[in-house]
Structure 1
Amino acid sequence: MQGMLATWVDFDQAGEADFNEWYNTEHLLERAMVPGFYNARRYVAIHGSPKYFALYDTESPEVLTSPSYKHILENPTEWSMQIMPQFRNFDRCVAEQIYQYGQGWAQIAISMRISIPAEEVNRVADRLIETVLPVASEAAGTVGLFLMKPLAPTGGPKPAETKGPPITLFLNAACLDEQAANEALHGALGPHALESADIPPRFVNTGMYRFVCGVDRSVVDRNKPA
């Protein structure tokens, strides 16, 4: 079962240039080089919050509790130690993938953090997989759908601010452009569709994000010095 790490964060505008340089040139590569990570990519909000969203695909959920990953969490770089304490509105989700349609990335990512009661998760996930996601996969411009079930929290940055409600399901959609994403959010992934799977709109935090940059582990490995 494939794993995924998702993070959301805001950052003060005064230090945002340094934050983005750190993320784009050090942080993504550092994570992507951990054994078992396939890639690392980040996005910026078109609408929704927090402003920044990142995704990391792994070969299994166990990679996210592995000694190699724990080592970089417990031994941050000097630059990371300067940046991470300044995170605001930080949220983090370690999860296993329970549904996938399509492959690859796209220009636009839809992020849906779903916070239903824990005892309802399996039933609601089944409803999404059976009724909502097959229809959403046929929508024009939707090239990927990924439903994730969060696991127990692991180590990571300790934000100063309190996080929002716990994520009990996470749905990510990859869309070719904003028009396709908007159509999905008003149709196949809209409030009416989610309510058909017993997910009230008040339990969903939705954002639309534009791709900024990413690191693919296979490309890095091919370009290592011999």
Structure 2
Amino acid sequence: MSTRSLAAIRGAGALAVWNDIPDELEDEYNNWYTNQHLPERVGIEGFLRGRRFVRLPAATEGCKYFTLYETESIATLSSPLYIDRLNDPTDWTKRMGAACLNVIRTACTVTASAGRGIGGIVTTVEFGARHDEEIALRTWLSDNLLPKLVQEADIVGAHLFESDLGVTSAKDATAEQCAMSSRRSPTVRWFVLIESTTEGGARTALQALAGKELSRHGAEENIAPGIFRLLTALDHR
């Protein structure tokens, strides 16, 4: 009998990126990201999977594109192999990276995970924990809400990510970051990612993660939601 386990998220670390791109560069941007940048990143040891998403029209406001890299651990995102790659960007990467707008980039630890699959639609909800209420909020999400959500027919995965600002800033002094006019990207604090098979599942997730409900369990009231559909996925082999 096989002893392999089933999991919706690969690894204990993640890099989450939200961004926009000028309309006139969109075709080139998608070509670059899918055919050069994604394979390059996922080819680094410790990167396990990369997925690109585009926001559903009229579903929610915010950045058009969302990318999630799943890694063995958060340490992968400050490893020598990764930093070496950041210090040797291709000319195409320099040009496209400098053109990206409204970039939000965060290295995260996966602190809770439920479910056994990935979905074609994902919901991201970003928020912060109130001071001294982190444990209560994390416990409610990991022990109550996320396991409850994956019981819904159209929801196959639910995960909590918490940012690590020290690891996130490991990119700041690299050649790739310098090519982006040395601008520092804002970061998220915590975010929940819900994987669903339908837009209905995504809206169920948004209702469950409404600001008032999160706030009741220790989150700050301002949240930033997004609903995206999968463009492409690539696994490290």
Say yes or no: TM over 0.5.
Answer: yes
Once the two structures are TM-superposed, the CA of residue 61 in structure 1 deviates from its matched residue by 1.0
Q: What amino acid does structure 2 have at the position aligned with 1:99? A: A
Once the two structures are TM-superposed, the CA of residue 132 in structure 1 deviates from its matched residue by 2.1
Give TM-score scaled by structure 2 length.
0.83
Report the Cα distance in structure 2 between the residues aligned to 1:38 and 1:162, rounded to whole angstroms.
26
1:26 matched to 2:42 = no
Give TM-score scaled by structure 1 length.
0.87
C-alpha change, 1:175 and 1:201, in structure 2 (3 Å) is farther
Report the Cα distance in structure 2 between the residues aligned to 1:192 and 1:140, rounded to whole angstroms.
24
Report the Cα distance in structure 2 between the residues aligned to 1:72 and 1:118, rounded to whole angstroms.
37
Once the two structures are TM-superposed, the CA of residue 78 in structure 1 deviates from its matched residue by 1.0
C-alpha change, 1:195 and 1:7, in structure 2 (3 Å) is same
The number of residue pairs the alignment matches comes to: 215
2:191: which partner in 1? Answer: 170
1:97: which partner in 2? Answer: 110
2:204: which partner in 1? Answer: 183
Greater mean deviation of Cα atoms: 95-104 or 31-40: 95-104
Q: For each residue in 1:10-47, what CA deviation from the matched residue of structure 2 results, as whole angstroms up to 9, or x when unmatched?
A: 01101111111101111110011000111111000013
Q: What amino acid does structure 2 have at the position aligned with 1:155? A: K
2:171 partner SS: coil
Report the Cα distance in structure 1 between the residues aligned to 2:112 and 2:69, rounded to whole angstroms.
16
Identity, in percent, stands at 27
1:209 matched to 2:228 = yes
Q: Is the 8 Å Cα contact of residues 136 and 189 (structure 1) preserved in structure 2?
A: no
Q: For each residue in 1:32-84, what CA deviation from the matched residue of structure 2 results, as whole angstroms up to 9, or x when unmatched?
A: 10001111110000133110000000111111111111111111111001110
Q: What amino acid does structure 2 have at the position aligned with 1:59? A: E
- After TM superposition, the runs of 4+ consecutive aligned structure 1 residues lying more than 4 A away are 158-164
5+ residue gaps in structure 2?
1-10
Once the two structures are TM-superposed, the CA of residue 170 in structure 1 deviates from its matched residue by 1.6
